Amino acid sequence: MAGIVGYGAYVPMYRIKVEEIARIWHESADQIKNGLGVKEKSVPGRDEDAATIAAEAARRAVFYAGIDSQEIGAVYVGSESHPYAVKPTAATVAQAIGAGPNMTAADLEFACKAGTAAVQMVMGMVDSGMIKYGMAIGADTSQGKPGDALEYTASAGGAAFIIGKKDTIADIIATTSYTTDTPDFWRREGIGFPSHGGRFTGEHAYFKHTIGATKQMLEKTGMKPGDFDYAVFHQPNGKFPTNVAEMLGFKPEQIKQGLITPTIGNTYSGASMIGLAAVLDEAKPGNKILVTSFGSGAGSDSFVLDVKDGIDHKRHKARKVWEMIANKMYIDYAIYLKTRGTIKLK
């Protein structure tokens, strides 16, 4: 059975506070913080993009797994902010970890859930014996239009998972998905910022799909919310995952460790995967973990993981997510605009 052999996460260290963005638009920071459940977000450096974030996470995953990167037979990078429209991020990442040339690679896009779709793809390839190890990455440097509500949450980060059968730290015992054509969020080719369906993004998009995939998983495995030590839900803000957990019958303690959006914002394809990385940083052998991602457009992938003894042998090699989150530098709105390339000098 395929499982996780290694993982790595990366969050850029720059942060901007909700207060600083609210100051520019004359909005109430308290109202936004209460409404979204987010107090600050990560911002990538001027020299960072989805490829460099994916590469850093991938290098950490290879180090953690302790495998020869030549044995990685597939690299898939899920992102909605690939640096090129045409030229694969996955090839750059593979080169940066010393994988290839005898391997397959491709970029995926499914809003915030392309990374978990990549996990499912490499699981199938590993289980069928097509490859020994596969790498699935979710990484983004998402942007919100200045003045749009998304500007308070759209952030940057990523996580990489190496899937294989040998020396796993957690086996993936089941996966389910729930997908429909839903116009909740989109961005056309060549357009800098996304559009969204306002209120439509909640009930008919996030909640319907997250609940759809998770309920299907509980039926498939015969497990109940109380059987899990941890649960991670996609987190476009701090409120949605908290509400969906409650609707499904999970307790706040189960989602706490993997709930990162309140402190780094929504890292899109990275979000549920960084949340899972944070959980693996402290999970113990025998723990059961539920992860359900969500991507606009819309769909959810759900996974149940069973943590193995091997996690104790590799744990010291992890760059812990919550330590990374605590290591930060605040920037103001002007530096934020310069950093995001909104100010052009030529």
Partner 1 sequence: METAPASSWRRQNASYNLVGNKCEKCGAVYFPSRIICKNCGRESKLREHKLSGDGEVYSYTKITAPSDTFKDDAPYTIGMIKTAEGPFIEGHVVDNGKDVKIGAKVRTVLRRMYADGEEGLIHYHYKFELI
Q: How far is the CB of 49 from partner 1 (least distance, A)?
A: 6
Nearer to partner 1, 57 or 131 (CB): 57
- As given in the structure block, the two tokens for residue 92 are 């750059």
Among 28, 66, 68, 83, binds partner 1 (CB under 8 A): 83
Using DSSP bridges, classify how beta strands 329-330 and 14-17 pair: parallel, antiparallel or unpaired: parallel
Among 20, 40, 48, 301, binds partner 1 (CB under 8 A): 48
Distance CA 308, CA 305 (A): 9
Distance CA 83, CA 275 (A): 24
* Segment near partner 1 (CB under 8 A); pick from 88-96, 176-184, 198-206, 314-322: 88-96
Q: Could you say which of 20, 40, 80, 151 is catalytic?
A: 80
Q: Could you say which of 112, 151, 196, 209 is catalytic?
A: 112
Nearer to partner 1, 55 or 65 (CB): 55
What binding mask, one character per residue, do residues 6-35 give for partner 1 by CB under 8 A, x or -? -------x----------------------
Q: What is the DSSP string of 131-159?
A: -SEEEEEEEEE----TTSGGGGTB-EEEE
- Nearest of 223, 228, 214 to residue 286 by alpha carbon: 228
Q: Under a CB-based contact definition with an 8 Å cutoff, are residues 262 and 60 in contact?
A: no
Among 25, 84, 186, 200, binds partner 1 (CB under 8 A): 84
Q: Is 196 a catalytic residue?
A: no
Q: Is 82 a catalytic residue?
A: no
Q: Under a CB-based contact definition with an 8 Å cutoff, are residues 240 and 156 in contact?
A: no
| Site of tokens 């649960």 | 231
Among 51, 90, 159, 304, binds partner 1 (CB under 8 A): 51
Q: Does 189 engage in binding with partner 1 (CB under 8 A)?
A: no
Distance CA 194, CA 183 (A): 12
Q: Does 47 engage in binding with partner 1 (CB under 8 A)?
A: yes
Q: Is 80 a catalytic residue?
A: yes
Burial of 38-66, coded b for 16+ CB within 10 Å and e otherwise, reads bbbbbbbeeebbbbbbbbbbbbbbbbbbe
Among 20, 49, 140, 281, binds partner 1 (CB under 8 A): 49
Among 24, 29, 35, 45, binds partner 1 (CB under 8 A): 45
Beta strand residue intervals within the chain, DSSP E: 3-10, 14-17, 40-43, 72-78, 104-108, 133-141, 156-164, 170-179, 185-186, 195-196, 230-233, 288-292, 299-307, 329-330
* Segment near partner 1 (CB under 8 A); pick from 29-37, 89-97, 125-133, 159-167: 89-97
Among 1, 25, 31, 46, binds partner 1 (CB under 8 A): 46
| Site of tokens 């969204």 | 196
Residues 96-155 that bind partner 1 (CB under 8 A): 96, 98
Q: How far is the CB of 274 from partner 1 (least distance, A)?
A: 18
Nearer to partner 1, 25 or 322 (CB): 322
- As given in the structure block, the two tokens for residue 316 are 């010291």
Nearer to partner 1, 191 or 345 (CB): 345
Q: How far is the CB of 328 from partner 1 (least distance, A)?
A: 8
- Nearest of 247, 302, 292, 239 to residue 266 by alpha carbon: 239
Q: Does 221 engage in binding with partner 1 (CB under 8 A)?
A: no
Among 55, 111, 277, 325, binds partner 1 (CB under 8 A): 55
Q: Which residues are catalytic?
A: 80, 112, 234
* Footprint on this chain of partner 1 (rule: CB under 8 A): 13, 45-49, 51-52, 55-56, 59, 83-84, 92, 95-96, 98, 329, 338, 345-346
